[in-house]
Amino acid sequence: MTKLVSSSLREFLNESDDPVALAVLGAPAGGKGFTMSKIKDVVDDSGVLRAIKSGEVLSVDKLRDEFRSKDPGEQLKGFVRAFYLMKDKYKQDPNEFGKWFKDIINIWDQKFSKLMPELKISIDPKELKFDGKPAYQSIKRLKEIDAKKVIDSLDKYNDYKRVVRYFQDIKQSEAKNKKIDVSYDESGDEPRKIVKNLQDLHNNEYVTDVFLIHPENVASNLIQNFFRVTIGGDGGRDSSKNIIGAYNDIEKNKDIYLDNSEDEITVKSKNLEKVSEPLKKSNVPDDPKKGNKPIDLFIEVQPMEPAEAYKTFMKKLDKNQKLVFNALLKYSVYDIQGIPQEAKDVILGLTNKLTNEQAIKVLQQAAESGKYQFEYGGVSPELAKRAAEIIK
């Protein structure tokens, strides 16, 4: 009874005083969504569950959709404000935010300048100008623009990469001011940005818990990715090149997370219930002996092994989909730069019943059928043509 009362009191105090910031990180197609849903089933920490169920969701994909649902005119204003936010971040930390600032400069300089010629857009050299005047002073001129026509001309994914960061920054500030729990998922390939963000929340009395979904063999991610491409999940988007880049960057920089964590634990995804007690212990004041670090608890989750992932996803496909899935996996080994050799070996071993010639034919037939082309990707004639050229 004493333990029950103590636990309940602790949970009560945590729920009253300690908002939670929950970050789920990992290269794309690593099972972040699955992990989030499983946490709800196996974890009994009140703060973490509260963050998942009712906290502010700051995940980029969710915020991109929310931002794109806004009035086109408001979206254009957001792109202006994103420029100034990135400019400010660049001034504070040029090394860390130089690329993000360059990206927002490029969309104004190379795309918006052509879509909105009447504004005479210029970057001089780090100031966004409309007809020679700073954009923040001339933002009302956006009313002269057919905003819907401009917005409809944007790439729904790539062109929103930086403006969604502006939107995320606004949402987090609002949540932080109200002490609302937050949760988000990221690739995690830019750990210094993640740590800086968590430091800000930690300084505002948030308990910060980080899950990194990171397999020993990146083939696990590629298998899940091409399952999605095959069935049209996430619009059929092929994230494989981003997967390899993010995975390799995480491998190189994982120590940054560890160095900024008070405690860490490694678990298999099938044993996620083991994190319940460590999570509860992270919901306490900082341990002076370990230092007041930005991350209270760092949890590395090892997802399904490639063979298990392959078997799991194959069961979900019909006969024709299985052929396309295997052909796409085989194609990926020849198409993607930087795949670790161990990932290549595993994928070629799993797909060895399909010859190279058969894989090319399957992709050609899939492209001709049109059944595997989706909003953001799939099997297109261009992919089939490239497959015929590179699969040897």
**Regarding beta strands 128-130 and 121-123, do their DSSP bridges make them parallel or antiparallel, or are they unpaired?**
antiparallel
Residue 357 in tokens: 């010639």
Written as tens digits, the pLDDT of the chain (392 aa) is: 333 343 444 444 444 468 999 999 999 998 888 888 888 888 888 888 899 989 999 999 899 999 999 999 999 999 999 999 999 999 999 999 999 999 999 999 999 999 999 999 999 878 999 999 999 999 999 999 999 999 999 998 889 999 999 999 999 999 999 999 999 989 999 999 999 999 999 999 999 999 999 999 999 999 999 999 999 998 999 999 999 999 999 999 999 999 999 999 999 988 988 998 898 888 666 667 777 899 999 999 999 999 999 999 999 999 999 999 999 999 999 999 999 999 999 999 999 999 999 999 999 999 999 999 998 899 999 999 999 999 98
What span, in angstroms and rounded, lies between the C-alpha atoms of 201 and 172? 9
Treating both helix axes as pointing N-terminal to C-terminal, what angle do 219-231 and 240-259 enclose, rounded to 10 degrees? 140
Strand-by-strand arrangement of the 207-213 sheet: 56-57, 182-186, 20-25, 207-213, 295-302, 261-268
Sign of the four-CA dihedral 314, 320, 323, 329 = negative
Q: Which value, to the nearest 10 degrees, does the dihedral of the CA atoms of residues 207, 208, 209, 211 take?
A: 160
Sign of the four-CA dihedral 380, 382, 388, 392 = negative
Treating both helix axes as pointing N-terminal to C-terminal, what angle do 319-335 and 381-390 enclose, rounded to 10 degrees? 60
What span, in angstroms and rounded, lies between the C-alpha atoms of 135 and 125? 13
DSSP 378: B
Angle (CA) 249-250-254 rounded to 5° is 125
Name beta bridge partners: 56: 182
Strand-by-strand arrangement of the 128-130 sheet: 121-123, 128-130, 133-134
Q: What is the CA radius of gyration of the chain?
A: 23
User: Under a CB-based contact definition with an 8 Å cutoff, are residues 232 and 196 in contact?
Assistant: no
- In order, the DSSP letters of 81-149 are HHHHHHHHHHHH-HHHHHHHHHHHHHIIIIIIHHH-GGG-EEE-SS-EEETTEEGGGSGGGGGGS-HHH
Residue 370 in tokens: 């049109």
**Regarding beta strands 20-25 and 128-130, do their DSSP bridges make them parallel or antiparallel, or are they unpaired?**
unpaired
Residue 5 in tokens: 């009362």
Name beta bridge partners: 295: 261
Q: Where are the domains of the chain?
A: 2-57+172-302, 64-163, 307-390
Q: What's at 211, amino acid-wise?
A: F
What span, in angstroms and rounded, lies between the C-alpha atoms of 372 and 384? 12
Nearest CA among 56, 3, 29 for reference residue 280: 3
How far apart, in Å, are the Cα atoms of 25 and each of 34, 246, 247, 318, 352? 12, 11, 11, 31, 32
Tens digits of residue pLDDT in 134-184: 999 999 999 999 999 999 999 988 899 999 999 999 999 999 999 999 999
What span, in angstroms and rounded, lies between the C-alpha atoms of 201 and 18? 11
CATH code, residues 2-57+172-302? 3.40.50
**Regarding beta strands 133-134 and 182-186, do their DSSP bridges make them parallel or antiparallel, or are they unpaired?**
unpaired
Residue 354 in tokens: 């399909």
Tens digits of residue pLDDT in 180-233: 999 998 999 999 999 999 999 999 999 999 999 999 999 999 999 999 999 999
